[in-house]
């Protein structure tokens, strides 16, 4: 026979020799274990099932208008913050009448105990959660579960309101800051423009100077043509005329003394007007002064007697009129020439300062770019504030999360733990295992030899033979009786296990105790 089989038979035989010790050990383990299970206090769990509805009617209506948030993330954060110390302290103060007299360490211990018995879990359906609390007192378990549910709903509404207020406060402060920045940027732009008016109000100085040159050249050419025409007419007109001759044709009386005085008065008035606006060196002022001097000279001319034949002559009015017009055209030509020179100077200056103007305009563009960026951010903030206002108004009317209580907390009538059926079965199996192990162990250490091989291995001597025990009928009767008693002891242990099950099912499981 194989060695392991021999060892197994030896262990079984040795254990059978100490079967009553094993049975007693099994009974002791089971009795102690079942009493310990019975002494474990009952724990009752009160739970509520709540569905968090995030698909409200307001969401599709206000899509793209209000500030959008990740509702699933909000739910996860809300569930995590439900069991934080501040919320648990609120629950303790609501559910524990003695909370007002607790010290800070006592309150912390109460919060820790409460937190350890709170359960939060997601059920199979999306956004369906179970909030529960376990406690030896079923009424207290229900009260805490109901309070947890209220804290969940209230804290969510309060958090949303606080977040909305914080967001609005932040946006308002940013808008005020950007308003100040925009005002400062606008002032920098205005100051920069004021410091370089010649550049910003002469953005087309070169083109304007060229246009002014063209106009001045045309005016010079027209004035020169009129002057030349008047010179030709003046050359063909006699300066004096015989008083005995026929009367000359009067050209509107322009050569009379009264008209000369009137022209002189008008010229002086125009000169005073020009002096009120320009300096003495301004071309128009210089030309006007020349015209006044010329009119004074013409007004003081006197009639000269004729040297030939004793005849008398007077100044020709036509000649005087042409000379006056010629003087006017000379002034006009001088003014046009001066304006042409001034336009040419402006063109030269504009060409010289073109590079500086480009640099100044580039600096101004940088200032304007900063201003436009600030303005863009400001307008975006204003738009977001309006969106936040609409979001808050929508939140005041309907929250973006609606809590629907599927199953409210109820008063439990059966304990949720411990699982005494499983524990009592474990105690029974542990007792049987302890009895078997004890009997086998005692047989192994007792020093008894159950086989010849054990004897030979123990003493290292040859075994000459083995004597078989001859049993009588009374011996066999005694062995059967012992086996019957042993089976009855084991059966009684199993029967006691069944009694324990019935007892816990009818008494302890319904909230009672051992007595």
CATH number of the domain bearing residue 104 = 3.30.1890.10
Looking at the structure, tell me whether residues 31 and 106 fall in a common domain.
Answer: no
434 is a domain residue: yes
Is the pLDDT at 348 greater than 70? The verdict is: yes
Give the helix/strand (H/E) hosting 363: helix 354-397
Q: Which residues of 407-436 are buried (b: 16+ CB within 10 A; e: fewer)?
A: eebeebeebbeeebeebbeebbeebbebbb
pLDDT at 70: 59
196 is a domain residue: no
249 is a domain residue: yes
- When mean pLDDT is compared over 63-67, 104-108, 505-509, the highest value belongs to 104-108
pLDDT at 315: 67
pLDDT at 73: 75
144 with 135: CB under 8 angstroms?
yes
- How many Cβ atoms from other residues are within 10 Å of residue 334's Cβ? 18
- How confident is residue 428, by pLDDT bands cut at 50, 70 and 90? very high
Cα distance between residue 216 and residue 214, in whole Å: 5
- How many Cβ atoms from other residues are within 10 Å of residue 266's Cβ? 13
- When mean pLDDT is compared over 5-19, 76-90, 436-450, the highest value belongs to 76-90
Looking at the structure, tell me whether residues 108 and 171 fall in a common domain.
Answer: yes
Which range (6-10, 214-218, 274-278) has the least confidence?
6-10
346 is a domain residue: yes
The answer for 310, left when phi > 0, alpha when psi is -120 to 50, beta otherwise, is: left
pLDDT at 252: 42
336 is a domain residue: yes
Looking at the structure, tell me whether residues 62 and 127 fall in a common domain.
Answer: yes
198 is a domain residue: no
pLDDT at 431: 92
314 with 240: CB under 8 angstroms?
yes
Looking at the structure, tell me whether residues 19 and 66 fall in a common domain.
Answer: no
Is the pLDDT at 328 greater than 50? The verdict is: yes
367 with 192: CB under 8 angstroms?
yes
Percent of residues in the chain assigned helix, strand, coil, to nearest 5? 70, 10, 20
Looking at the structure, tell me whether residues 219 and 297 fall in a common domain.
Answer: yes
Taking residues 210-238, report their average pLDDT.
81
Looking at the structure, tell me whether residues 34 and 76 fall in a common domain.
Answer: no
As for how many domains the chain has, the answer is 3
Cα distance between residue 422 and residue 33, in whole Å: 12
Owner of token pair 């006009």: 332
Cα angle 52, 57, 58 (rounded to 5 degrees) comes to: 100
Taking residues 240-264, report their average pLDDT.
56
Is the pLDDT at 427 greater than 90? The verdict is: yes
pLDDT at 222: 86
Looking at the structure, tell me whether residues 141 and 66 fall in a common domain.
Answer: yes
Non-local (6+) Cβ contacts of 487 within 8 A are none
What is the secondary structure of 448-507 as a DSSP string? Answer: ---SHHHHHHHH-S-----PPP---HHHHHHHHHHHHHHHHHHHHHHHHHHHHHHHHHHT
The answer for 306, left when phi > 0, alpha when psi is -120 to 50, beta otherwise, is: beta
Taking residues 110-127, report their average pLDDT.
86
pLDDT above 70 covers a percentage of the chain that reads: 71
pLDDT at 513: 47
pLDDT higher at 360 or 485: 485
Cα distance between residue 394 and residue 388, in whole Å: 10
Is the pLDDT at 144 greater than 50? The verdict is: yes
pLDDT higher at 309 or 463: 463
Taking residues 53-82, report their average pLDDT.
63
Last-in-domain residue among 347, 381, 407: 407
pLDDT at 28: 94
pLDDT higher at 435 or 284: 435
Going by C-alpha positions, the residue among 324, 320, 316, 315 that lies closest to residue 292 is 324
- How confident is residue 448, by pLDDT bands cut at 50, 70 and 90? low
Taking residues 352-376, report their average pLDDT.
81
pLDDT at 253: 44
Looking at the structure, tell me whether residues 212 and 261 fall in a common domain.
Answer: yes
Six token digits for residue 57: 């009617």
Looking at the structure, tell me whether residues 321 and 215 fall in a common domain.
Answer: yes
- How confident is residue 251, by pLDDT bands cut at 50, 70 and 90? very low
Non-local (6+) Cβ contacts of 269 within 8 A are none
pLDDT at 305: 42
Is the pLDDT at 336 greater than 60? The verdict is: yes
- How confident is residue 213, by pLDDT bands cut at 50, 70 and 90? confident
pLDDT higher at 233 or 148: 148
299 is a domain residue: yes
pLDDT digits (tens, 9 = 90+) for 120-133: 888 877 788 899 99
Looking at the structure, tell me whether residues 48 and 32 fall in a common domain.
Answer: no
Which range (90-99, 132-141, 371-380, 395-404) has the least confidence?
395-404
End-to-end Cα separation, the chain, in angstroms: 57
Cα distance between residue 355 and residue 357, in whole Å: 5
pLDDT at 247: 46
Which range (43-52, 121-130, 199-208, 457-466) has the least confidence?
199-208
Is the pLDDT at 414 greater than 60? The verdict is: yes
Taking residues 147-168, report their average pLDDT.
72
Taking residues 128-156, report their average pLDDT.
87
384 is a domain residue: no
Mean pLDDT across the chain, nearest whole number? 76
Taking residues 244-263, report their average pLDDT.
53
Last-in-domain residue among 376, 407, 438: 407
Looking at the structure, tell me whether residues 51 and 147 fall in a common domain.
Answer: yes
Structural domain range at position 219: 205-364
Owner of token pair 């009538």: 413
Looking at the structure, tell me whether residues 300 and 344 fall in a common domain.
Answer: yes
pLDDT above 90 covers a percentage of the chain that reads: 5
């Amino acid at each position: 026979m194989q060695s392991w089989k021999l060892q197994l038979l030896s262990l079984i035989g040795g254990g059978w020799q100490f079967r009553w010790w094993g049975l007693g050990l099994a009974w002791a383990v089971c009795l102690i274990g079942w009493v310990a299970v019975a002494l474990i206090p009952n724990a009752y769990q009160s739970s509520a099932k709540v569905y968090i509805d995030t698909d409200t009617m307001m969401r599709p209506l206000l899509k793209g208008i209000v500030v959008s948030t990740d509702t699933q993330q909000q739910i996860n954060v809300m569930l995590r913050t439900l069991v934080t110390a501040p919320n648990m302290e609120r629950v303790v103060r609501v559910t524990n009448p003695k909370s007002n007299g607790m010290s800070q360490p006592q309150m912390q211990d109460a919060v820790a105990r409460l937190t350890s018995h709170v359960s939060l879990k997601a059920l199979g359906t999306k956004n369906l959660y179970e909030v529960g609390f376990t406690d030896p007192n079923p009424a207290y378990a229900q009260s805490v579960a109901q309070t947890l549910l209220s804290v969940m709903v209230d804290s969510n509404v309060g958090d949303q309101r606080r977040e909305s207020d914080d967001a609005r406060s932040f946006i308002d402060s940013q808008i005020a800051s950007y308003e100040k920045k925009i005002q400062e940027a606008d002032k920098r732009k205005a100051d920069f423009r004021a410091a370089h008016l010649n550049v910003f109000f002469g953005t087309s100085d070169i083109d304007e100077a060229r246009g002014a040159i063209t106009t001045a050249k045309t005016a010079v050419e027209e004035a020169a043509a009129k002057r030349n025409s008047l010179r030709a007419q003046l050359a063909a007109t006699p300066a004096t005329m015989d008083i005995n001759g026929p009367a000359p044709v009067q050209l509107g009386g322009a050569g009379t003394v009264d008209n000369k005085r009137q022209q002189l008065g008008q010229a002086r008035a125009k000169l005073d007007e020009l002096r009120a606006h320009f300096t003495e060196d301004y071309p128009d002022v210089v030309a006007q002064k020349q015209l006044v001097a010329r009119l004074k000279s013409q007004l003081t001319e006197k009639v000269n007697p004729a040297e030939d034949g004793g005849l008398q002559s007077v100044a020709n009015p036509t000649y005087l009129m042409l000379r006056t017009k010629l003087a006017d055209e000379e002034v006009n030509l001088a003014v046009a020439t001066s304006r042409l020179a001034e336009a040419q100077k402006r063109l030269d200056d504009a060409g010289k300062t073109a590079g500086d103007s480009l640099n100044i305009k580039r600096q101004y563009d940088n200032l304007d770019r900063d201003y436009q960026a600030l303005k863009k951010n400001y307008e975006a903030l204003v738009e977001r504030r309006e969106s936040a206002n609409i979001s808050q108004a929508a939140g005041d009317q309907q929250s973006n999360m609606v809590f629907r209580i599927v199953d409210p907390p109820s008063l439990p009538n059966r304990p949720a733990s411990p699982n005494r059926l499983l524990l009592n079965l474990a105690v029974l199996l542990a007792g049987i295992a302890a009895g078997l192990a004890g009997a086998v162990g005692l047989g192994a250490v007792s020093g008894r030899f159950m086989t010849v091989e054990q004897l030979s291995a123990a003493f290292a001597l040859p075994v000459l033979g083995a004597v078989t025990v001859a049993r009588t009928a009374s011996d066999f009767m005694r062995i059967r009786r012992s086996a019957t008693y042993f089976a009855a002891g084991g059966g009684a242990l199993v029967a006691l296990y069944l009694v324990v099950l019935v007892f816990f099912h009818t008494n302890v499981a319904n909230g009672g105790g051992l007595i």
